[in-house]
Amino acid sequence: MSTNPEALLYYGFPIGEEMPDGIDYFDASQKWEEAHRPKEPDDRSDYRTPEWDEWRARLQEWKKSPEYVEVGWSGAENCECYYVHAYGLLISVEWGEQIEVNLASPGPEWDEQIRRFCESCGLEFNQPKWYLAARYF
pLDDT of 30: 96
pLDDT of 82: 92
16-69: pLDDT as tens digits: 777 777 788 999 999 999 999 999 999 999 999 999 999 999 999 999 999 999
Residue 50: strand pairing partners? none
- Nearest 5°: the CA angle 26, 12, 80 is 45
pLDDT of 2: 52
Phi, psi (degrees; rounded to nearest 5) at 135: -135, 140
pLDDT of 112: 98
Distances (CA, A) of 18 to 12, 14, 93, 110, 131: 17, 11, 26, 25, 19
Distances (CA, A) of 37 to 54, 66, 99: 13, 12, 29
Q: Is 133 helix (H, G, I), strand (E, B) or coil?
A: strand
85-121: pLDDT as tens digits: 999 999 999 988 999 998 998 999 999 999 999 999 9
pLDDT of 96: 87
User: Region 119-130: what's the mean pLDDT?
Assistant: 95
Is 1 a residue whose pLDDT tops 60?
no
5-18: pLDDT as tens digits: 999 999 999 997 77
pLDDT of 48: 94
Residue 45, number of CB atoms within 10 A of its CB: 5
Cα dihedral sign for 100, 103, 105, 111?
positive
Exposed e or buried b for every residue in 7-37, given b needs 16+ CB within 10 A? bbbbbbbbbeeeeeeeeebeebbeebbeebb
**Could you give the count of Cα atoms lying within 13 Å of 67 in the half-sphere of its Cβ?**
12
**pTM for this entry:** 0.88
Are 15 and 24 in contact by the 8 Å Cβ rule? The answer is no
Q: Residue ranges per domain, the chain?
A: 5-136
